[in-house]
Copies of this chain bind each other. A is one copy, B any other.
């Protein structure tokens, strides 16, 4: 009886073991499957990250901005001057350029720049419209004095000698004046005059200039 009991016990034990083994194997299998799923997910995540990273860096410069940019998608603003549209095409504070900066500016009929000067070279290319350039050549007078007037027109170019006081005015009542502006030694430091007879010493420095303000605040200063 005891042997048959033992046999029964053994059989039960064997079944129990078998059952436990089956449950254990299933648990292990479920665990493995979960691990595989996790791994697959991680692999997918890494692949996508790598792809994004490669795509992004291959399109970007050292400054982290795309090499090629669509001008129509660049931010434009009037910086509080009605009738102005300013786009920094390639900038110092904005894009990390050190030696040149390029703007695309549109002046509505009747609008103008302030009377101003700056100690950098500046070249204009007129893309559309026409207007007037007022230019007071650098002299030893105390103030700029009466400026010379130059007609500017579509497909014309002109440059402002360093420190010459000048003003650009869309004197065409019908059409926008659109210019591409190139300056050296960015970011620009502008001295502004209220009128042509204002003494040079009274001209007010505006730095950072309106379109550089936002970038100037966020740029880490170069301690060198």
Contact = CB atoms under 8 A, between A and B. Distances in A.
Contact of A133 (B67, B123, B135, B152): B67
Contacts of A125: 71, 89, 102, 180
Interface residues of A, number: 40
B156 A70 contact: yes
Contacts of A133: 67-68
Contact of A156 (B71, B148, B152): B71
Given A72-B155, A90-B123, A102-B123, 4 more contacts: A68-B151, A68-B156, A125-B180, A180-B180
27 contacts: A59-B150, A67-B135, A67-B158, A67-B159, A68-B151, A69-B158, A70-B153, A70-B156, A71-B125, A71-B156, A72-B155, A89-B123, A89-B125, A89-B157, A90-B159, A90-B182, A95-B159, A97-B123, A98-B121, A99-B121, A99-B184, A100-B121, A100-B183, A102-B182, A125-B180, A182-B182, A184-B184
* Those 9 A-B pairs whose CB atoms lie nearest each other, nearest first: A99-B184, A68-B158, A90-B123, A99-B121, A100-B184, A68-B150, A71-B155, A89-B157, A67-B158
